[in-house]
Structure 1
Amino acid sequence: MAPPEDAPTIIDIPIESQSDLASESDLVELDLDELSDTWRDRLSAILQQDALSLDVIRRNREFDPEMQIQAATTMAGVSDAAACRLSWSGRPKVEQARGVLSFAFHNLLEGSQRRGLNFNMMWEQLQNARVNAHDFSAQVDQQMGYARPVQTRNDVIKTVLKFHRNWMGFTIPSMLRATQAVQGEVLAERDGRTKGNYEYLLREVESLYLPFAVMVLEDYGLPTPLGLKLTEHKLRGTDLPEALESLLFVAERSETLDDLSGVERWILDDVVEGLGGVSSMRVEIGLM
């Protein structure tokens, strides 16, 4: 029997083929003359509206274009008090942070993006992460109060970690960036209000409300509990170079080493060695 003939493998790239598998978020990125007649007609409501510029819609590509447009229309009609809760910069008050996140949750997220949470559930978990940022066990204890009868503590630990990873690591920062872009155009440029800058809140959420140096150095092998302990010995840094320089400084101080256990000193030494810095153990035995 003859072997079967090779069949060509056809890979459909929706944004290039402009097939029905392509999303509006993808195709709105294309210039008008690159769109097929079919997709030009399907996108006409997005391309011809004036509630929100294409530039903002394209920047917020994680979110459905039509929902962005509706969010802009809604924002343009909010009360003065609500507009004030969206028009701030720097460190927000609780009502300002809640106002922005509530607006984003209800106006930008599709059902599938909410992952089974309502806004109050998301807000309570975020506040749990903020209040108990330095104590993961306390975060789990608090979340246990909302656990279903069949859930074990291990299940709740997974829930907390999943919220950190998915919501605080991606969804909430994306919500803040998108709402800031819409606010900047709808309320700041057109209505003359203060231009929103949610960077402070965004960075706090992304860092799980931990000091920046602690969060960034975890990627270099420094466990969070040890990093928090080192902040008591002046571990600082608002960017990566500052954090690394501060770690090397802290690791050489005898006051730091005296406060660490043998295991903690071993971990710190290993991290510093990996960075090419001075080894605390070599300093201790007088080889450097």
Structure 2
Amino acid sequence: MALNLVEARQQLHSADLDEDDAFRLLADIGAHGAFVDRDEARELLIRFLARRDELSTPLHEILQGLVREHGLFPYLRDIAELPTADRLAFEMHRPTPAVGDDVVFHAEQAAVYERLMSGENVILSAPTSFGKSLVVDAILAAGRYRNAAVVVPTIALMDETRRRLAKLADRYKVITHGSQRRGERNLYVMTQERLLELGDIPDLDFFVIDEFYKLDPHHSDDRSVQLNVLFHRLLSTGAQFYLLGPNIASITGGTSERLRASFVNTGFTTVVTDVDRVHADAAELPDALATVCGETGPGTLVFCKSPPRVREVTQWLVDRGVGAGNLHPVLGQVADWVGQAYHPDWYVGKALRHGIGVHHGKLPRALAHHIVRLFNDGRLPYLLVTSTLIEGVNTSAKSVIVLDNKIATKKYDYFTFSNIRGRSGRMFRHFVGRVVVFNPEPHAADLTVDAPILSQPDDVADEILIHLPEAELTPRSKEQLRPYLEQTLLSLQTLRENKGVPLSWQLETADQITSDRRRWMRTLAWNGTYPTSAQVRDLAPLLFTLTGSGNAVRTAKQLGARVNMLRSQQGDFKALVEQAVSRGTSADDAMESELEFLRNWAQFKIPTAFAAVEKIANDALSADRFTASSTAVFANELENLFLPPFAAVLEEYGLPVSLTLKLRHQLDLGRASGLDEVLDRLREIDVPPSTLGPFEREMLADTQRTL
């Protein structure tokens, strides 16, 4: 009789599984995999592995055989007792040289690894639990490349990747920041913007683009422009490449034809997922969510559409006692530290006392890292997140609750839902993940990825085309670029150098400058290295033209005021929050507003605008033989939030600014010649100051472990 998949799943989920039933199920799985559907059989086999410790010794041997048959070599046990052929197969799936004593590939990982080791370019689409990054580690561990780059979409993922690859420090100088010195053999782990900021792309032998679907603007945001520009430059090096991402069905023809690469599309997974639907209207939602959280228990991740929604949902759960009781003592220490370092009334600290952590784009980077670490360690039961955690950062979630079906105000598509769903389950820890959704699942759809810098479709952005050599432009693309080629305000070189700034905004800025030359020559000529506060205010309209508006900066006047406020407070974040609170803003609103300004504006948008306005002014006013004051030093100070050197950068390494300032004398920040020197001093701290609290000591030790 044919295997009934529903009944088999129910039986494996039931409390009792006697030996006869287990034997029949194993036999049915073997037959189903051999004659019907290997993917379905593998799914049941993984469910069986979750209960392997309940089996008698004879059944263990059968299970081992099926694990071997399905290529799940990492799940084999008692290797020394395996038959010789099975032991040989096991060892054949270990990368050479070994990444670690316990690292063995499953069958499809090994196939991808062999393709890369043979020199092929590989584009891999595979589920979250496939282990795509482990293949990166193994390829780099082989040490065959002199210079390699791993491009990741976020700074959070950059830090996670750096930590993971720290074990290769004997083979490569791992570089995440432009101020670091180059070594004989270098491994650049950077976002696309940071790698482009290096200027000339290093002479690479190999590069990786993680989450490569973000090349396609239809599945990304305006940062896809930068990623396309970088991709084109990386391809021009002739280096071997490995592009990886989840749930991608195909590469569009125009892109595929330009890439000499093997496209591997696999659904092979090492964990399985159960998806349940909960029906609840808006009024019932808080109670329904609390009930589900109670059922799923510790190790539960809750997806919310936005940071304000995270705050709202946190209050729901706190009010209903979710997470309370029998909490790990460290959470009280963390909550105390959050109150001291940021603000005692911030909901993030209060939530931690109830066993609830949050993660979104408006958190300090170091705090976000340590909250995820506590969750992965099993010391933090619940984690409420937005899409910022979905983009590659690994978690050990047993269960995922998808509360909202939007990212901000836009409904997510099937691809994004699949990405969220893929966060449940974890190899060796949770064989069977559970996903609970509060909205209908989006309709299944194949995801096709296009790299517009290669295919030049009709809707390709001007900012992408401007970076292509004329010989590569199609006739239609040349026509699209004609307004920029024929205008006389700015040279093509200037338009290209201001990467990340829309071309129309650059031309608008040039037009403002040339329309009132005397005013802007006066504003852009500083007496010293830095502009005065008045000059920052006067320059704000040009900067605002180059940044656009947003939640944290709505007007040019506000932009200038916030830069000057940050400067006057020398980056004292607590003082900025207290000022906002004293004006009647709630602590939560003040925290999120200040954090958004610091992360997105002070550390990125406005420094980029300062650099751009200098180039634009020098070009637009070249006939007047005018040279604007250099903005580089002030922009760098702004990017570092006017803090002591490298204090803001160390946030990326898991060291909060408040902790760095307590270590400033041991780190000797004021006299450091570069980031490498600071990191060397950080490694050497073996007696932390007595002023550090217990959680600060833990954060310091965690940072030092991965330097």
TM-score, structure 2 as length reference? 0.33
Pair 1:146–1:82, CA change in 2 (3 A)? farther
Paired residue secondary structure (1:98): helix
Partners of 1:122 and 1:159 in 2: how far apart? 13
2:437 match: none
For 1:45, the aligned partner's letter is: P
Pair 1:114–1:55, CA change in 2 (3 A)? farther
Residue 222 of structure 1: how far off its partner (Å): 3.0
Residue 140 of structure 1: how far off its partner (Å): 1.0
Partners of 2:664 and 2:506 in 1: how far apart? 41
The share of aligned pairs that are identical, in percent, is 27
| Two-structure CA RMSD over aligned residues (Å) | 3.2
Decide which of 218, 222, 241 is 2:676's aligned counterpart.
241
2:373 match: none
Decide which of 89, 93, 96 is 2:535's aligned counterpart.
96
The residue correspondences of 1:152-167 to structure 2 (distance < 5 A) are 152-167=586-601
Residue 642 of structure 2 corresponds to residue 215 of structure 1: no
Question: Cα deviations across residues 29-57 of structure 1 (Å, max 9, x unaligned)?
Answer: 22334333333223212101221100110
Bigger relative CO (Cα 8 Å, ≥ 6 apart):
1
For 2:653, the aligned partner's letter is: Y
2:705 match: 274
Partners of 2:506 and 2:455 in 1: how far apart? 25
Partners of 2:638 and 2:695 in 1: how far apart? 27
The residue correspondences of 1:65-214 to structure 2 (distance < 5 A) are 65-88=503-526, 90-106=529-545, 108-110=546-548, 117-133=554-570, 135-144=572-581, 152-187=586-621, 189-214=622-647
More helix by share: 1
Pair 1:114–1:49, CA change in 2 (3 A)? farther
Residue 261 of structure 1: how far off its partner (Å): 4.3
Mean Cα deviation higher: 53-62 or 74-83: 74-83
Residue 664 of structure 2 corresponds to residue 231 of structure 1: yes
Q: Where does structure 2 lack aligned partners over 5 or more consecutive residues?
A: 1-248, 251-445
For 1:215, the aligned partner's letter is: A
Pair 1:85–1:19, CA change in 2 (3 A)? same
Partners of 1:125 and 1:116 in 2: how far apart? 8
Partners of 2:704 and 2:490 in 1: how far apart? 52
Paired residue secondary structure (2:701): helix
Partners of 1:158 and 1:224 in 2: how far apart? 17
Question: Cα deviations across residues 93-115 of structure 1 (Å, max 9, x unaligned)?
Answer: 22333333331213x3445x676
Decide which of 62, 72, 78 is 2:500's aligned counterpart.
62
Question: Cα deviations across residues 152-184 of structure 1 (Å, max 9, x unaligned)?
Answer: 321221111111111112111111121121123
Partners of 1:269 and 1:37 in 2: how far apart? 57
Partners of 2:655 and 2:552 in 1: how far apart? 31
Partners of 2:697 and 2:450 in 1: how far apart? 52
2:552–2:597 Cα contact (<8 Å) kept:
no
Partners of 2:552 and 2:700 in 1: how far apart? 41
Residue 223 of structure 1: how far off its partner (Å): 2.8
1:29–1:58 Cα contact (<8 Å) kept:
yes
Mean Cα deviation higher: 218-227 or 44-53: 218-227
Residue 65 of structure 1: how far off its partner (Å): 1.6
Paired residue secondary structure (2:483): helix
Partners of 1:115 and 1:25 in 2: how far apart? 25
Partners of 2:508 and 2:571 in 1: how far apart? 39
Partners of 1:264 and 1:238 in 2: how far apart? 30
Give aligned pairs, total.
260
Partners of 2:570 and 2:460 in 1: how far apart? 41
Residue 268 of structure 1: how far off its partner (Å): 8.2
TM-score, structure 1 as length reference? 0.75
Residue 221 of structure 1: how far off its partner (Å): 3.5
